[in-house]
Amino acid sequence: MNAFTRTLTLLAAILIAPLSIFAIGDGIGAGLRFPLFLYQDTTYGASLIPVWQEISYVTSGTIGGRSAVSILIWVLGTALLVAAIAYFAVRREDDSETFRKPLALLVSGGAVAYLLSCVAQYGPTLHGPAGFAVPVGVPLLLGVAGYILKVEDDDESGYEEEEDYGEEMEEEQ
Protein backbone atom coordinates (compact mmCIF):
# COMPACT_ATOMS: atom_id res chain seq x y z
CA MET A 1 0.00 0.00 0.00
CA ASN A 2 1.52 3.32 -1.02
CA ALA A 3 1.69 6.47 1.11
CA PHE A 4 -1.26 8.10 -0.66
CA THR A 5 -3.58 5.17 0.06
CA ARG A 6 -2.46 4.88 3.68
CA THR A 7 -2.93 8.59 4.34
CA LEU A 8 -6.32 8.66 2.64
CA THR A 9 -7.43 5.61 4.64
CA LEU A 10 -6.34 7.21 7.91
CA LEU A 11 -8.08 10.49 7.10
CA ALA A 12 -11.30 8.68 6.18
CA ALA A 13 -11.11 6.50 9.30
CA ILE A 14 -10.91 9.61 11.46
CA LEU A 15 -14.34 10.71 10.24
CA ILE A 16 -15.96 7.44 11.34
CA ALA A 17 -13.98 6.82 14.55
CA PRO A 18 -15.50 7.72 17.93
CA LEU A 19 -13.53 10.67 19.27
CA SER A 20 -15.17 11.19 22.64
CA ILE A 21 -16.89 8.99 25.18
CA PHE A 22 -19.09 10.83 27.66
CA ALA A 23 -21.53 10.41 30.51
CA ILE A 24 -24.29 12.89 31.23
CA GLY A 25 -24.92 14.15 34.75
CA ASP A 26 -25.64 11.62 37.49
CA GLY A 27 -26.14 8.63 35.24
CA ILE A 28 -28.86 10.20 33.09
CA GLY A 29 -27.13 8.88 30.00
CA ALA A 30 -23.95 8.22 28.10
CA GLY A 31 -22.77 8.33 24.53
CA LEU A 32 -20.16 8.47 21.85
CA ARG A 33 -19.35 11.55 19.82
CA PHE A 34 -18.06 11.05 16.30
CA PRO A 35 -16.94 13.90 14.03
CA LEU A 36 -20.11 13.76 11.95
CA PHE A 37 -22.70 12.58 14.47
CA LEU A 38 -23.51 12.00 18.11
CA TYR A 39 -24.90 8.78 19.57
CA GLN A 40 -26.38 9.06 23.04
CA ASP A 41 -28.42 6.71 25.15
CA THR A 42 -30.36 8.41 27.93
CA THR A 43 -33.31 7.63 30.15
CA TYR A 44 -35.41 9.17 27.37
CA GLY A 45 -34.13 6.70 24.76
CA ALA A 46 -31.32 6.31 22.26
CA SER A 47 -30.58 9.06 19.74
CA LEU A 48 -28.38 9.39 16.68
CA ILE A 49 -27.94 13.09 15.99
CA PRO A 50 -26.01 14.27 12.90
CA VAL A 51 -23.79 17.33 13.31
CA TRP A 52 -25.99 19.48 11.04
CA GLN A 53 -28.95 18.77 13.35
CA GLU A 54 -26.88 19.90 16.34
CA ILE A 55 -26.06 23.11 14.47
CA SER A 56 -29.77 23.72 13.91
CA TYR A 57 -30.43 23.12 17.62
CA VAL A 58 -27.88 25.80 18.47
CA THR A 59 -29.06 28.31 15.85
CA SER A 60 -32.72 27.87 16.83
CA GLY A 61 -31.92 28.39 20.50
CA THR A 62 -32.97 24.88 21.56
CA ILE A 63 -29.46 24.37 22.97
CA GLY A 64 -27.64 27.27 24.61
CA GLY A 65 -24.92 28.11 27.07
CA ARG A 66 -21.90 25.85 27.53
CA SER A 67 -23.48 23.09 25.45
CA ALA A 68 -23.89 25.44 22.49
CA VAL A 69 -20.28 26.63 22.75
CA SER A 70 -19.12 23.02 22.98
CA ILE A 71 -21.08 22.05 19.87
CA LEU A 72 -19.74 25.00 17.90
CA ILE A 73 -16.15 24.15 18.83
CA TRP A 74 -16.82 20.51 17.87
CA VAL A 75 -18.15 21.67 14.49
CA LEU A 76 -14.96 23.70 14.05
CA GLY A 77 -12.92 20.54 14.64
CA THR A 78 -14.99 18.65 12.09
CA ALA A 79 -14.59 21.50 9.59
CA LEU A 80 -10.81 21.33 10.07
CA LEU A 81 -10.83 17.57 9.37
CA VAL A 82 -12.98 18.02 6.27
CA ALA A 83 -10.61 20.81 5.16
CA ALA A 84 -7.66 18.44 5.70
CA ILE A 85 -9.26 15.81 3.47
CA ALA A 86 -10.09 18.39 0.79
CA TYR A 87 -6.55 19.80 0.98
CA PHE A 88 -5.14 16.29 0.65
CA ALA A 89 -7.33 15.57 -2.36
CA VAL A 90 -6.30 18.78 -4.12
CA ARG A 91 -2.59 18.72 -3.28
CA ARG A 92 -1.92 14.98 -3.35
CA GLU A 93 0.43 15.28 -6.33
CA ASP A 94 2.81 17.50 -4.35
CA ASP A 95 5.56 15.46 -2.70
CA SER A 96 7.20 18.37 -0.94
CA GLU A 97 7.32 19.14 2.75
CA THR A 98 5.16 22.21 2.13
CA PHE A 99 2.25 19.87 1.38
CA ARG A 100 2.53 17.74 4.52
CA LYS A 101 2.96 20.47 7.14
CA PRO A 102 -0.37 22.25 6.50
CA LEU A 103 -2.12 18.87 6.32
CA ALA A 104 -0.68 17.83 9.68
CA LEU A 105 -1.58 21.24 11.14
CA LEU A 106 -5.19 20.88 10.00
CA VAL A 107 -5.47 17.44 11.60
CA SER A 108 -3.77 18.67 14.79
CA GLY A 109 -6.06 21.69 14.85
CA GLY A 110 -9.03 19.34 14.71
CA ALA A 111 -7.61 17.44 17.71
CA VAL A 112 -7.20 20.67 19.68
CA ALA A 113 -10.74 21.78 18.79
CA TYR A 114 -12.19 18.44 19.93
CA LEU A 115 -10.30 18.67 23.22
CA LEU A 116 -11.44 22.28 23.74
CA SER A 117 -15.01 21.20 23.00
CA CYS A 118 -14.85 18.67 25.85
CA VAL A 119 -13.29 21.29 28.14
CA ALA A 120 -16.02 23.80 27.23
CA GLN A 121 -18.73 21.29 28.17
CA TYR A 122 -17.23 19.52 31.20
CA GLY A 123 -14.54 21.88 32.52
CA PRO A 124 -10.73 21.71 32.53
CA THR A 125 -10.68 18.38 34.38
CA LEU A 126 -13.17 16.90 31.88
CA HIS A 127 -15.39 16.07 34.87
CA GLY A 128 -18.06 18.16 36.50
CA PRO A 129 -21.76 18.47 37.30
CA ALA A 130 -22.63 18.00 33.62
CA GLY A 131 -20.88 14.61 33.61
CA PHE A 132 -17.50 13.59 32.27
CA ALA A 133 -15.79 13.03 28.94
CA VAL A 134 -12.88 10.94 27.75
CA PRO A 135 -11.52 12.44 24.50
CA VAL A 136 -10.09 9.18 23.15
CA GLY A 137 -9.78 10.55 19.63
CA VAL A 138 -7.36 13.36 20.47
CA PRO A 139 -4.30 11.08 20.75
CA LEU A 140 -5.51 9.26 17.63
CA LEU A 141 -5.64 12.50 15.65
CA LEU A 142 -2.25 13.62 16.92
CA GLY A 143 -0.86 10.22 15.92
CA VAL A 144 -2.25 10.62 12.41
CA ALA A 145 -0.71 14.11 12.20
CA GLY A 146 2.63 12.66 13.31
CA TYR A 147 2.31 9.91 10.71
CA ILE A 148 1.67 12.47 8.00
CA LEU A 149 4.86 14.35 8.95
CA LYS A 150 7.21 11.45 9.67
CA VAL A 151 6.20 8.30 7.82
CA GLU A 152 5.59 10.08 4.56
CA ASP A 153 9.26 11.15 4.65
CA ASP A 154 10.35 7.59 5.40
CA ASP A 155 8.15 6.24 2.60
CA GLU A 156 9.71 8.54 0.02
CA SER A 157 13.23 7.51 1.03
CA GLY A 158 12.09 3.87 0.85
CA TYR A 159 11.16 4.31 -2.79
CA GLU A 160 14.60 5.73 -3.52
CA GLU A 161 16.26 2.75 -1.87
CA GLU A 162 14.22 0.32 -3.99
CA GLU A 163 15.26 2.12 -7.15
CA ASP A 164 18.92 2.09 -6.08
CA TYR A 165 18.71 -1.61 -5.28
CA GLY A 166 17.33 -2.35 -8.73
CA GLU A 167 20.14 -0.36 -10.37
CA GLU A 168 22.76 -2.24 -8.33
CA MET A 169 21.34 -5.58 -9.43
CA GLU A 170 21.50 -4.51 -13.09
CA GLU A 171 25.13 -3.39 -12.67
CA GLU A 172 26.15 -6.75 -11.13
CA GLN A 173 24.72 -8.69 -14.07
What's residue 79's pLDDT?
96
- For residue 119, CA distances in Å to 6, 28, 65, 85, 145 come to 31, 20, 14, 26, 22
Domain residues for the domain of 107 are: 3-160
- Region 140-159 average pLDDT: 74
Query: Does some domain include residue 168?
Result: no
What's residue 68's pLDDT?
95
Query: Does some domain include residue 171?
Result: no
State the pTM of this model: 0.83
Query: Does some domain include residue 170?
Result: no
Any idea what the CATH number is for the domain that residue 116 is in? 1.20.140
Query: Does some domain include residue 52?
Result: yes
Q: How many domains are there within the chain?
A: 1
Query: Does some domain include residue 167?
Result: no
Q: What DSSP state is assigned to residue 126?
A: S
- Region 2-30 average pLDDT: 87
